[in-house]
Amino acid sequence: MASSLTASLLLLSVVFMQFVSAADQNNFIKTAEPGNDLILPCKDPDQGRIIVIEWSRTDLGPESVLTYRNFQFEPAKQHQSYKDRVDLLVGEIRKGDVSLILKNPTTDISGTYQCRVVKENRGEKLISTISLQV
């Protein structure tokens, strides 16, 4: 009986560690030098057509860093400080790569970024959270 309890606890520990490890893959800290373009990675491993991509910064309020819907950017929802400073690898979206390109970063863009997607027949999904320090 004691050996089955030990085996169960060991199995539970392994499953828990895999869960924690998988969660950490989508939450990380990134540092960058001012002036050097950088990419904030965001890849959705699930299959399905992405219809909305939203990059936000937790301290910006309702405006986004970038919103991409129905194959086009939505500049009306974008925070002024990110106009003409961000982009996506549009050709990679079909593969689930919705990484954000930040052009000529300055210290004022330091913060916590979140990448979300919406897929056909599914709700919104948070893919990654990145703390950026420039």
User: What pLDDT does residue 40 have?
Assistant: 95
SS3 60: coil
Looking at per-residue pLDDT, the higher value among 91 and 9 belongs to 91
- Structural domains of the chain sorted by starting position, each given as residue range(s) with its CATH number in brackets: 28-133 (2.60.40.10)
Write out pLDDT tens, residues 42-90. Answer: 999 887 889 999 999 999 888 999 999 989 999 998 999 999 999 999 8
Predicted TM-score (pTM) above 0.85: no
Percent of the chain with pLDDT over 90: 54
Looking at per-residue pLDDT, the higher value among 31 and 24 belongs to 31
User: What pLDDT does residue 127 have?
Assistant: 94
User: What pLDDT does residue 1 have?
Assistant: 54
Distance (Å, whole) CA 66 – CA 81: 11
- Residue 35 near residue 105, CB atoms below 8 Å: yes
- pLDDT band for position 95 (cuts 50, 70, 90): very high
Maximum pairwise Cα distance, the chain: 65
